[in-house]
Chains A and B, each alone.
Chain A
Amino acid sequence: AQSVTQLGSHVSVSEGALVLLRCNYSSSVPPYLFWYVQYPNQGLQLLLKYTTGATLVKGINGFEAEFKKSETSFHLTKPSAHMSDAAEYFCAVSSSGGYNKLIFGAGTRLAVHP
């Protein structure tokens, strides 16, 4: 069975500071991993994904994530936070059951202050 744990339900950074949002997963098969962002009262927008190949993946808005199999982690980073990055971020793993079920973490709310 697959599962996702996001460490830290709230993260606060200063504008211009490094953003680090943590995600650990559990999967019985090679994982497909995703990061989504959700702005208030909106749906989910895909930031980036890892399926196979290069373990460092780059996404939209300057975000990137590194798949580390040995640590079962897929942490999301951005070198310099912007006020517009304030949102809820969800890490997800795709199930292996023959259908496209995403299993989400509980989310991390990112606050960016001046």
Chain B
Amino acid sequence: ETGVTQSPTHLIKTRGQQVTLRCSSQSGHNTVSWYQQALGQGPQFIFQYYREEENGRGNFPPRFSGLQFPNYSSELNVNALELDDSALYLCASSRDRGRTEAFFGQGTRLTVV
């Protein structure tokens, strides 16, 4: 059983650019959630995808968007990058969209300069 994998592990972008982060969910999981973890803080929920539909969103602007594919892998897209978007982005997968345990990937470290 493979775990949650994210790519890339690190990247550097310039303010105003767009970025796409990728996540492969754990085998047997149909739900993917994305979190932003700023330095020295706990992760903050961005949104969740269940069977290719967004079914929950945190307090993030519309320039944060996502996709989930038929194989349940997912992308996080961020447009018009700002310096404050620099953070560790974590993907988590779970068996269902309800209150079940979530398994996290190793994260993507995004630096905006």
Which residues from chain A sit less than 8 Å from chain B, CB to CB? 4, 32, 34, 36, 41-46, 49, 51, 90, 92, 94-107
Chain A nearest CB from B68 CB (Å) reads: 13
Contacts of B43 in A (CB 8 A): 44, 90, 102, 104
By the criterion CB–CB under 8 Å, are B94 and A100 in contact? yes
Q: How far is the CA of A104 from the CA of B35 in the complex (A)?
A: 10
Q: How far is the CA of A36 from the CA of B94 in the complex (A)?
A: 15
Which residues from chain B sit less than 8 Å from chain A, CB to CB? 4, 6, 31, 33, 35, 40-45, 48, 50, 55-56, 58, 90, 92, 94, 96-107, 109
Among candidates B58, B99, B105, residue contacting A100 with C-beta atoms closer than 8 Å = B99
Chain A nearest CB from B32 CB (Å) reads: 10
By the criterion CB–CB under 8 Å, are A101 and B58 in contact? yes
Q: How far is the CA of A45 from the CA of B90 in the complex (A)?
A: 12
For the complex of A and B, list the 8 residue pairs with the smallest distance between their C-beta atoms, beginning with the closest.
Answer: A99-B56, A104-B42, A43-B104, A44-B104, A94-B99, A43-B106, A101-B45, A32-B99
By the criterion CB–CB under 8 Å, are B42 and A105 in contact? yes
Contacts of A34 in B (CB 8 A): 101
By the criterion CB–CB under 8 Å, are B56 and A97 in contact? yes
By the criterion CB–CB under 8 Å, are B33 and A101 in contact? yes
Q: Can you name 17 A-B pairs with beta carbons within 8 Å?
A: A42-B107, A44-B92, A44-B104, A49-B101, A90-B42, A98-B98, A99-B98, A100-B48, A100-B97, A100-B102, A101-B45, A101-B58, A103-B45, A104-B42, A106-B42, A107-B40, A107-B42
